[in-house]
Chains A and B, each alone.
Chain A
Amino acid sequence: EDKVVQSPLSLVVHEGDTVTLNCSYEVTNFRSLLWYKQEKKAPTFLFMLTSSGIEKKSGRLSSILDKKELFSILNITATQTGDSAVYLCAVPQGGSEKLVFGKGTKLTVNP
């Protein structure tokens, strides 16, 4: 069965810290891996990764995929209180239109 495991489940840091969130996956016929940020409402899209070793970057956030070791990391540098959220990782299930989500990492950034 396809699955996504995220770690840690929760993380508390101070503003200015750098954090690394982990996502490992098992899926048949890998197509892509997606990261979302969820505050109180809709998950908002961050990154879609399809190729190993190519870093995607958006401001202080970056992400990279390792298809050999079946994991991805999401880095956030110089964290701000506005980064506090649940970060979700997802992969399309092999041969279907379903996204399989991890349980998320709850990040709390304290001032």
Chain B
Amino acid sequence: EAQVTQNPRYLITVTGKKLTVTCSQNMNHEYMSWYRQDPGLGLRQIYYSMNVEVTDKGDVPEGYKVSRKEKRNFPLILESPSPNQTSLYFCASSLSMQGTETQYFGPGTRLLVL
């Protein structure tokens, strides 16, 4: 089954404790992206990747890191989480960045930073 998976689905952590949220897709997609969703703000793009070893900042990259060492994986790293990073995070992928391609979203990771 074609899908985007994220782990963990739920995470409670404390300020300053490094964490990684994994994202994996099995569709051989080139484009992958991370979003955060906050009430009243919709989804905002954190980082995106056009292909392996190619990443770029979205609208809200501060406090986050990403890497794309393999085509299928695009982990989101919070080196020193803070309470304002409490949010619902979505990973997405598409075949390419052409507008005709559909973005497929993962199920989301709900993060609480105390």
Asked if chains A and B come from one complex, the reply is: no
